[in-house]
Structure 1
Amino acid sequence: MKIGILKTGHAPDIVRDSLGDYDAMFARLLDGHGFEFAPYDVVDGVFPDGAQAADGWLVTGSKHGVYEDHPWIAPLEALIREIRDAGRPLVGVCFGHQIIAQALGGEVVKHPDGWRVGATQYQIDGRPLTLNAWHQDQVVTAPPGAEVVGRAEGCEIAALRYGPNIFTVQPHPEFDATMMDRLIEHRAIGVVPDPLRDHARALLDTPTDSAAMAGTLADILMKGGRHG
């Protein structure tokens, strides 16, 4: 099965040599499910020919905001709607969660309560899961027909399910402790308030449920096998 990875940003230089870019992180997260991955740097204007170019799709995180005026935002939203209309599986993480919601009629804002960073307790599909958070923006209004299936303290729309083929989450199952450490030490300075940085640093060794979330994402993506 071919999974198209729509890269809406790039991993920081400080981690790219050791961890790779975002497509490499997701390839590791979803290893063992028989997927073949095809990355598209949509953040740089590189798009697939259309929804039929892959059996399933994944939208990554990004340092950008979905409400910002970038030339690739509108084409990405159009592609998301095309994927939905074609019935292809689609998953989104962090920015991916937000841009899918915005493209399908939801609302995303820079949340007035500020940043969420580090290992965080979520309730997703009725299960308690610990996953790494790294965001200030949030979905504040779910699109019509979307079911809110994930929440956390301070993040009321942490996961959305759109029927059987689309599932999105705000936290980052692809971020391991090394990635979080690099973000805390290099990207958070002057951006994330110091008390939140210190709190996230203290939680670096917290075990996460990334494998469980990987299974959920893989289950959605494997529905694309019927198109193969």
Structure 2
Amino acid sequence: MKIGILLTGHPPEILQDQFEEYDAMFRVLLDGNGFTYETFAVVDGQFPKDELQADGWIISGSRHGAYEDHPWIPPLEDLIRTIQKSGRPLIGVCFGHQIIAQALGGKVEKFNGGWAVGRTDYDYEGQTVTLNAWHQDQVVALPDSARVLGSNTFCQNAMVAYGDTIWTVQAHPEYGDAFIQGLMDTRGKGVVPEALMKAAANRLPAPDDNPKIGQLMADFLKKERA
């Protein structure tokens, strides 16, 4: 099965010598499932010719806001709607979670409740899952077609499904602890409250559910559909 990864951002330049691009992080997360991949850096204007270039799709995270005025956002929203109509599976992570909601009629905004950083617990269909978060923007209004699967008191729309073909998550199952620490040391300074980053750093040694959610994502992509 071929997975198309739509890159909507890049790691901070200061971290690019230490960490690979976001598409490589997804390859590690989904390793062992027999996928092949093709990456399209839509943030740089590199789009697939159509939705048929992959059997399933993933939209990455980004430092950009879904509501911002960038030339690549409207064609990405068009592609999201086209993928949905095609019935091919689509997964959105962080910005991907947000832009899918926006493209399908929801609303994204900079959340006035502040940031979620590092280890964060979510209620996912009655189970607690722990993932690394890095966001202030949130989906604050869902499209009519959305179904909430996971949430917590800070982020009500943390994991969402649209029918049987789209699954999205606000957190970052592809981010490891070292990358979260790198973001706190670079992108977070002067932006994220110091007390929040200190608390997040203290919790980084705690277990996470990245492998569990990674396998859930893989199973969703591979699922047989009518």
Question: Aligned-pair distance for 1:226?
Answer: 7.0
The residue that corresponds to 1:193 in the other structure is 193
Deviations for 1:137-189, whole angstroms, at most 9, x for unmatched residues?
A: 00011111110111012100001011111100000000111101101111100
Structure 1 counterpart of 2:66: 66
> Which residue does the alignment assign to 1:135?
135
Question: Alpha carbon RMSD of aligned pairs, Å?
Answer: 1.3
**Which segment drifts farther, 164-173 or 9-18?**
9-18
Partners of 1:123 and 1:13 in 2: CA distance: 34
Residues of 2 paired with 1:34 and 1:107: CA distance?
35
Match of 1:118 in 2: 118
- Provide the secondary structure at the position in 1 that maps to 2:91: strand
Deviates more, 1:210-219 or 1:9-18: 9-18
Q: How many pairs are equivalent? A: 226
Which moved further from structure 2: 143-152 or 14-23? 14-23
Aligned partner of 2:162 in structure 1 is 162
Counterpart residue identity of residue 148, structure 1:
V
- Indicate conservation of the 8 Å contact 1:61/1:94, yes or no: yes
Question: What secondary structure sits across from 2:17 in the alignment?
Answer: helix
Query: For residue 48 of structure 1, what is the amino acid of its counterpart?
Result: P
Instruction: Compute the TM-score of the two structures, normalised by the length of structure 1.
Output: 0.96
SS in 2 for 1:155: coil
Give 5+ residue unaligned stretches, structure 1.
Answer: none
**Is the CA contact 1:184–1:200 (under 8 Å) kept in the aligned structure 2?**
no
- Residues in 2 aligned to 1:106 and 1:190: alpha-carbon distance in whole angstroms: 30
1:211 match: 211
198-207 or 98-107: bigger deviation:
198-207
Letter in 1 for 2:18: S
Higher share in helix: 1
Q: Which residue of the partner structure matches residue 177 of structure 1?
A: 177
Share of identical aligned residues, percent?
54
Whole-angstrom CA distance in 2 between matches of 1:29 and 1:147: 25
Q: 1 CA distance for matches of 2:181 and 2:14?
A: 11
